[in-house]
Amino acid sequence: MAEESYPMTPAGREKLRLRLKQLKDVERHENVRDIEAALEHGDLRENAEYHAAKERQGQIDAEIRLVEHTLGRAQVIDPADIDSETIGFGATVTLLDMETDKEQVYALVGEHETDVDRGRISIKTPVARALLGKREGDEVTINLPKGVREYEVVSVAYQALD
pLDDT in tens, 5-26: 999 999 999 999 999 999 999 9
Q: What proportion of the chain, given as a percentage, has pLDDT over 90?
A: 85
Q: Who's near 37: CB < 8 A, 6+ residues apart?
A: 49
In a 13 Å sphere around the CA of 31, the CA atoms on its Cβ side amount to 18
Q: How many Å apart are CA 122 and CA 86, to the nearest integer?
A: 17
Q: How many Å apart are CA 118 and CA 148, to the nearest integer?
A: 23
Of 19-28, 43-52, 141-150, minimum mean pLDDT range:
43-52
Query: What pLDDT, on the 0 to 100 scale, is given for residue 2?
Result: 58
Asked whether the whole model's pTM tops 0.85, one would answer no
Predicted confidence band of residue 162 (pLDDT cuts 50, 70, 90): confident
Query: Mean pLDDT throughout 120-127?
Result: 94
Q: Which domains does the chain have, with CATH numbers?
A: 6-76 (1.10.287.180), 79-158 (3.10.50.30)
Query: What pLDDT, on the 0 to 100 scale, is given for residue 4?
Result: 85
Whole-number mean pLDDT of the chain?
A: 93
CA angle centred on 117, ends 112 and 121, rounded to 5°: 40
Sign of the CA dihedral running 118, 119, 122, 126: positive
60-109 pLDDT, tens digit per residue, is 999 999 999 999 999 999 999 999 999 999 999 999 999 999 999 999 99
The candidate with the shortest Cα–Cα distance to 9, out of 126, 125, 88, is 88
Of 24-28, 43-47, 58-62, 142-146, minimum mean pLDDT range:
43-47
Strands 103-109 and 120-122: parallel
